[in-house]
């Protein structure tokens, strides 16, 4: 009996992952990963050329379909997860005008203030879209293009997000999905439509409105594979491409975070912490990203810019492999004997300190050793993410457990540190590639909807997403109290240094 197979692609900042999921057994039949780098400058610019993503996707798809466990004829649908907020600018022929500016780009910070002022101030922006014009969101990138590369803006015909561009490559359709569109800062998350007031604040001429893609609900297909793509990979041209979504939205699906009460936290390059909601959750302070989910609801989310960034920089500085770094961090006591790291290496989104830099404090003649440096990097990144959890709690979201994803979640020490610092049980899912798995599951959901089946996404995730109970960590009461004190010290450093960090 033929199986139905579903491909999930997760195009991220550091590389592209891919999986093929069996609709019959729920097993991942094949996995692949290809890495790439960034284009950086000293002004805070962080870019990639979309051709890089296409080349990585082609390699991943070729790898997946070469697996002896996979029959290309059984592939039914593809789903794409992509890094959020990036700006892909296309001309009238669908050609890329310039490299894409990414979520971690802070070169466009000045434009955030300009857009906010033109739109009537922070409160007016919050009322219009449910979010602020945060550094890293797409809106400031578009105005930056208009301000600094007007010849490129004159050629502009379509603005897409990274996952939208991959869907465009696969299908030829220029469309966007509610969840990923939420991170543009010109999308109204309550009414699920482009915001005319924010678009006018970016470009009062009206040109930008004409450059936006059509909008899709989460369970709608972006289209069918283009015949030339289907032929290239030996697939049927009846293969559906689902709406897809941003990496956080897809990771929510991949961790079963599609009902209230579940919270997902990612210990990746950046850190995110988010929960499903069946209504919009708009934070009065604007620190909470009020996103739509890619599962039909909403996804209140907090992002911090620096998690494994901090530990990887420390590891490189000390010339350590991952195992040795973990051992050194474990050898240091909680609090790293007084060392405190504010890990703002890429600036910071939450709290909003886009021009901030990292600071290491509390140094004495007694605590300057590699063990404490490793511990301080891990704790500082965790405290940054705890700040995000406090924002969620302030908005009425209290986790019963936190499902961890990302490279940092593979460390037992780091999982226990999160449990103690957050005072909440943490656990990983069996399949760590949550973004790619979530994209495959959304593709399955979309295909079943298109076939007239009324299967809910909750039913699908309950069948296909399982927890790895070996990774579960419960908070230790004594350590919780200790980390409450350490977090208070971290906050005191943060507030004291904000005059230097652009606040």
pLDDT for the residue numbered 431: 87
Does residue 350 share a domain with residue 227? no
Residue 451 lies in a domain: no
Assigned token pair, 12: 């991220």
Domain count of the fold of the chain: 2
- Site of tokens 């989460």: 218
Instruction: Assess whether 405 and 352 both reside in one domain.
Output: yes
Determine, yes or no, domain membership for 478: yes
Could you tell me if 403 and 502 lie in one domain? yes
Sheet of 262-267, strands arranged across: 289-292, 298-304, 271-275, 262-267, 401-405, 426-429, 467-473
CATH number for the domain that contains residue 139: 3.30.420.40
* CA 403/CA 78 separation, integer angstroms: 25
Q: Which two tokens stand for residue 211?
A: 């450059």
Q: pLDDT confidence of 502, banded at 50, 70, 90?
A: low
pLDDT of the residue at 293: 96
Which run of H or of E encompasses 20?
strand 15-22
State mean pLDDT over 178-202: 97
Percent of the chain with pLDDT over 70: 99
Q: Specify whether 494 is located in the same domain as 382.
A: yes
Mention every residue, 6+ apart, whose C-beta is less than 8 A from residue 333. 375
Q: What is the pLDDT of residues 4-44, one digit of tens each?
A: 999 999 999 989 999 999 999 999 999 999 999 999 998 88
CA pseudo-torsion sign 205, 206, 210, 212: positive
Q: Are residues 277 and 422 in the same domain?
A: yes
Q: Using 50, 70 and 90 to split pLDDT, how confident is the model at 498?
A: confident
Active site residues per annotation: 247
Is there a single domain that holds both residue 51 and residue 141? yes
- Entry pTM: 0.90
Range of the domain at 236: 5-243
484 within some domain: yes
Domain assignment of residue 317, yes or no: yes
What's the token pair of residue 178?
A: 């509610």
138 occurs within a structural domain: yes
Mean pLDDT of 438-454: 95
Q: What is the mean pLDDT of residues 189-206?
A: 97
Q: Is 44 exposed, middle or buried (0-12, 13-18, 19+ CB in 10 A)?
A: middle
Average pLDDT over residues 295-309: 93
Same domain, 364 and 471: yes
Last residue of a domain, one of 210, 243, 276: 243
Query: Based on the domain organization, do 179 and 323 belong to the same domain?
Result: no
Q: Which of 208, 243, 278 is the last residue of a domain?
A: 243
Residues 194, 273, single domain; the answer is no
Whether the CB-CB separation of 382 and 329 falls below 8 Å is answered with no
Q: Work out the burial of residue 100: count CB atoms within 10 Å of its CB; fewer than 13 is exposed, 13-18 middle, 19 or more buried.
A: buried
Stretch 214-235: mean pLDDT? 96
pLDDT digits (tens, 9 = 90+) for 51-61: 999 999 999 99
10 Å CB burial of residue 396 (0-12, 13-18, 19+) is exposed
**185 and 261 fall within a common domain:** no
CA angle 207, 212, 216 (to 5 degrees): 160
Place of tokens 């940092």: 408
Which pLDDT score, from 0 to 100, does residue 432 have? 83
pLDDT bracket for residue 338 (50, 70, 90): very high
Instruction: Specify if 55 maps to a domain.
Output: yes
Same structural domain for residues 265 and 237? no
pLDDT band at 503 (very low <50, low <70, confident <90, very high): low
Q: How far is CA 99 from CA 40, 208, 224, in A?
A: 11, 19, 27
Q: How far apart are CA 135 and CA 7, in angstroms?
A: 32
Does 440 map to a domain? Answer: no
Percent of all residues in the chain with a pLDDT value above 90, rounded to a whole number: 89
Do the domain assignments include residue 40?
yes
User: How far is the CA of 106 from the CAs of 118, 144, 273, 352, 353, in angstroms?
Assistant: 20, 11, 21, 12, 10
Whether residue 141 is found in the same domain as residue 275: no
Q: Quick one: pLDDT at residue 1?
A: 63
Per-residue pLDDT band at 217 (split at 50, 70, 90): very high
pLDDT tens profile 401-434: 999 998 899 999 999 999 999 999 999 999 888 9
Average pLDDT, the chain: 95
- E strands in 36-149: 39-40, 46-48, 75-82, 88-90, 100-101
Last residue of a domain, one of 216, 243, 270: 243
Q: What is the reported pLDDT for 465?
A: 95
């Amino acid at each position: 009996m033929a199986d139905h197979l579903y491909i999930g692609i997760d195009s991220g900042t550091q590389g592209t992952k891919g999986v093929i999921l069996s609709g019959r057994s729920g097993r991942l039949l094949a996995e692949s990963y290809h890495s790439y780098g960034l284009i950086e400058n000293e002004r805070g610019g962080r870019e990639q050329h979309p051709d890089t993503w296409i080349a990585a996707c082609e390699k991943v798809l070729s790898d997946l379909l070469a697996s002896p466990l996979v029959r290309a004829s059984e592939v039914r649908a593809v789903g794409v997860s992509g890094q959020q907020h990036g700006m892909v600018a296309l001309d009238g022929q669908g050609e890329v005008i310039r490299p894409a500016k990414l979520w971690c780009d802070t070169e466009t910070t000045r434009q955030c203030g300009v857009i906010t002022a033109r739109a009537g101030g922070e409160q007016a922006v919050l009322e219009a879209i449910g979010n602020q014009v945060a550094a890293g969101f797409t809106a400031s990138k578009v105005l930056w293009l208009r301000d600094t590369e007007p010849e490129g803006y004159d050629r502009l015909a379509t603005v897409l997000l990274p996952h939208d561009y991959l869907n465009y490559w696969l299908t030829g359709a220029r469309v966007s999905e509610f969840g990923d569109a939420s991170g543009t800062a010109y999308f109204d998350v309550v009414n699920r439509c482009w915001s005319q007031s924010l678009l006018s604040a970016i470009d009062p001429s009206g040109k930008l409105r004409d450059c936006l893609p059509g909008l899709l609900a989460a369970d709608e297909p972006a289209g069918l594979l283009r015949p030339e793509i289907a032929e290239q990979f030996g697939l049927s041209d009846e293969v559906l491409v689902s709406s897809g979504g941003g990496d956080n939205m897809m990771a929510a699906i991949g961790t079963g975070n599609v009902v209230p009460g579940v919270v997902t936290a990612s210990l990746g390059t950046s850190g995110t912490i988010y929960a499903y909601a069946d209504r919009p959750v708009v934070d009065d302070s604007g620190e909470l990203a009020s996103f739509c989910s890619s599962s039909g609801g909403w996804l209140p989310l907090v992002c911090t810019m620096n998690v494994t960034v901090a530990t990887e920089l420390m590891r490189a500085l000390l010339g350590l492999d991952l195992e040795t770094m973990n051992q050194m961090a474990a050898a240091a006591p909680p609090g790293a004997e007084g060392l405190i790291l504010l890990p703002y290496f890429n600036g910071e989104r939450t709290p909003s300190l886009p021009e901030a830099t990292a600071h290491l404090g509390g140094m004495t003649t007694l605590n300057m050793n590699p063990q404490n440096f490793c511990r301080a990097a891990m704790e500082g990144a965790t405290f940054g993410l705890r700040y995000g959890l406090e924002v969620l709690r302030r908005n009425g979201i209290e986790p019963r457990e936190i499902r961890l994803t990302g490279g940092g979640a593979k460390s037992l020490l780091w999982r226990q540190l999160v449990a103690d610092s957050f005072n909440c049980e943490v656990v990983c899912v069996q399949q760590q590639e949550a973004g790619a798995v979530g994209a495959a599951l959304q593709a399955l959901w979309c295909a079943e909807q298109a076939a007239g089946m009324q299967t809910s996404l909750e039913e699908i995730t309950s069948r296909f997403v399982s927890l790895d109970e070996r990774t579960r960590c419960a908070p230790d009461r004594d350590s919780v109290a200790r980390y409450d004190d350490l977090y208070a010290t971290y906050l005191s450093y943060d507030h004291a240094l904000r005059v230097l960090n652009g606040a």
